[in-house]
Amino acid sequence: MDTKQDRTVSNDQPDDSQGQPLSLHQRILGDVEGRILSGEWPPGHRIPFEHELTEQYDCSRMTVNKALTELVKRGLIERRRKSGSYVTFPQVQSAVMEIHDVKLEVQSLGLDYSFQLDERKVRKVESRDVERLDLPTSARLLDVTCRHFAGGRPFCFEERLISLAAVPEAEAELFETAAPGSWLLGKVPWSTAEHRIRAVAANKLAAQALDISTGTACLVIERRTWSGRAPVTHVRLTYPGDRHELVAQFAPSPIG
């Protein structure tokens, strides 16, 4: 019987964002997640068995199980009976809560895709940015806007902020061959995302970009993504209301 108890690591161990020592559960979770997101443990890699992690961190089996269960919930690992836990392979799905590539959305309609970068600038975080991308005002970011076209017709207006602390290589990227969203999906593994979806009336900037009248009904999707605990990007995608729809598939939850 495992008699070891959960305990807080000593002061020489890593702290969380509030300066508090990490619990063993948080430390194991962060270590394993970091190796996955960095690519050190690629998809299909078997992570150490529970008893191996128990010995490595000198903790209870329950503590290790708690950390691995959280990684399963985040979709980073999968457990195989009698075989162990493995890093998952990324899945491409079409659902409301998935991160879409606008290029693939257009191509799925059977239309030719193109994009145009309208503005690109490196700047410091301003007070108006903090709510969108949780970074200190001393941080630097890349501010880009671009338009996506379907069959030569404006399809989507993109306004994006990218944290240069999380994606330093973005500072030199000119997005000549790939739009910012497509480029990020291929470069940065994300672990968490937040979507906000609402109907709005097109403001002057969006109306000009989409070649519609000011006040036209539009669908706006705002998304923030993180890699581990680090904010990566905030994007606001504006679609003319008559040119886009959201589709999701649902199944009843098991009872009992």
% of residues, the chain, pLDDT over 90: 46
User: Would the pLDDT of 15 be above 80?
Assistant: no
Q: Which is it for the CA torsion 119, 120, 124, 126, positive or negative? A: positive
Under the banding of pLDDT at 50, 70 and 90, the label for residue 175 is very high
Please write the tens of the pLDDT for every residue from 147-167.
Answer: 999 988 899 999 999 999 999
What whole-number distance in Å separates Cα of residue 130 and Cα of residue 231? 11
| Distant-in-sequence, close-in-space partners of 145: CB < 8 Å, separation ≥ 6 | 117, 118, 119, 157, 158, 159, 160, 209
The residues that bridge with 124 in the sheet, in sequence order, are 140
Cα–Cα distance measured from residue 228 to residue 122, given in angstroms and rounded to the nearest whole number:
24
Average pLDDT value for residue range 170-186? 92
Mean pLDDT to the nearest integer, 49-68: 92
Alpha-carbon dihedral angle through residues 147, 153, 156, 162, given to the nearest 10 degrees: -20
Which among 200, 196, 192, 197 is positioned nearest to 218, based on CA atoms?
200
pLDDT at residue 189 in the model: 77
Q: State residue 214's pLDDT score.
A: 95
Q: Which residues make beta-bridge pairs with 225?
A: 193, 233
pLDDT for 174 equals 94
Per-residue confidence at 236, pLDDT binned at 50, 70, 90?
very high
Write out 141-156 in H/E/C secondary structure: EEEEEEEEEECCEEEE
Per-state percent for the chain, helix, strand, coil, to nearest 5: 25, 30, 40
Q: What Å distances lie between residue 92 and 35, 79, 95, 99, 231, CA to CA?
A: 22, 20, 10, 9, 22
pLDDT-based confidence at 244, cuts 50/70/90?
Answer: low
Give the per-residue pLDDT at 96. Answer: 47
Residue 4 DSSP SS3: coil
Say which residue the tokens 């700047």 belong to.
123
Query: Given a cut of 70, is residue 82 above it in pLDDT?
Result: yes
Judging by DSSP bridges, how do beta strands 230-240 and 140-150 pair with one another?
A: unpaired
**36-45, 81-90, 225-234, 246-255: segment of lowest average pLDDT:** 246-255
Task: Report the pLDDT averaged over residues 126-142.
Answer: 90
Q: What is the mean pLDDT of residues 72-97?
A: 71
Written as six digits, the tokens of 6 are 């959960």
Q: Say yes or no to pLDDT of 10 above 50.
A: no
- DSSP code, position 59: -
Average pLDDT over residues 199-214: 94
142/42: higher pLDDT: 142
- Tell me the mean pLDDT in the region 201-215: 94
Three-class SS state of 181: helix
Up-side HSE of residue 182: CA atoms within 13 Å toward CB?
Answer: 18
Q: What is the pLDDT of residue 252?
A: 62
Residue 248 pLDDT class (50, 70, 90 cuts)? low
